[in-house]
Amino acid sequence: MRGDMKPRLQTFTRTVLLLQVCWLWSGQCLSVHFSNQRSVYVVKGQDLILQAQIELLEGERVAKVTWERSAKASGKSSPVAEFPHGDPSDERVTVETQGSTLKIRGYEAADGGVYTVTVTDQSGQRRSAQRSVQEYLAVNHVSVMVNVSHAVLHCMEAWGTDPSFTWLHEKVLVTGTVGRVSADGASLFVSGTFCGHFTCVVSNKLGHSSATYTAEPCESTSRSASAVVVFLLLLLALGAASLAFLLWRRHRHGQHRRERLREPYEEDL
């Protein structure tokens, strides 16, 4: 029983909302929209699918659905598909789900633009909704700018879609000991020693690109450790030499003293 109540409640809620829209628009009881208003990015060669949400009162039917595309450069509008009577001029284009779904196989750069879906019901009422479509581009032309006085590195990318940023220091992922990365990942605030190679890697689902900024060379830890070891060995050698010299001097001094004590004794004989 509870399982049946939920769909019924959702249907009732949509009906009430649509009736309110009808009242506000003087009896116009048709609604069409997209669930997401953000631009759609499509990888070249993949399929473009646009799904419109059409709301009608119970018992009403869609009489006609048309899809049009406006090119961003020229703004010129051209028909793409029509339901139920129009056959698309492009064999790559199909409409499904009573015209509410538009599918274009093998997306090309020319398919980009602003798509408008217009729905007409049996009473002649019309409603439209729009969705922007763009090609998903690979990352390219990565560069790194630096503010030496504030020890800040900024990573920039020319035109890639949905880029994500990763920072490396000496080919190792940056940690808190090296610095802090900004919320968007594009900037690195260096808190440690500003030295060595800083690399910004920008990636998206089509690949990655990188750029490196080279600061003053960092002091090698191994060299420092070697220098310390050599210094300690020198101290030990110097200490050993000093101890040997003191023992030799003490031994020499003891021999000289015995010789001086022996001379008076020999004269008495």
Which pTM does this prediction carry?
A: 0.66
Please give the pLDDT value at position 269: 47
Please give the pLDDT value at position 247: 72
Please give the pLDDT value at position 167: 97
Tell me the Cα Rg of the chain: 41
Please give the pLDDT value at position 23: 44
Per-residue pLDDT of the chain (269 residues; tens, 9 = 90+): 455 555 556 555 655 555 455 544 444 578 999 998 899 999 999 999 999 999 987 777 888 999 999 988 777 899 999 998 777 778 899 999 989 999 999 999 999 999 999 999 888 889 999 999 999 999 989 999 999 889 999 999 988 999 999 999 999 999 999 999 999 999 999 998 899 999 999 999 999 999 999 999 988 754 545 556 666 777 777 777 777 767 767 766 666 655 555 555 454 54
Please give the pLDDT value at position 209: 96
* Tokens (6 digits) for 263: 């001379």
Please give the pLDDT value at position 155: 97
Please give the pLDDT value at position 29: 76
Please give the pLDDT value at position 1: 45
Please give the pLDDT value at position 4: 55
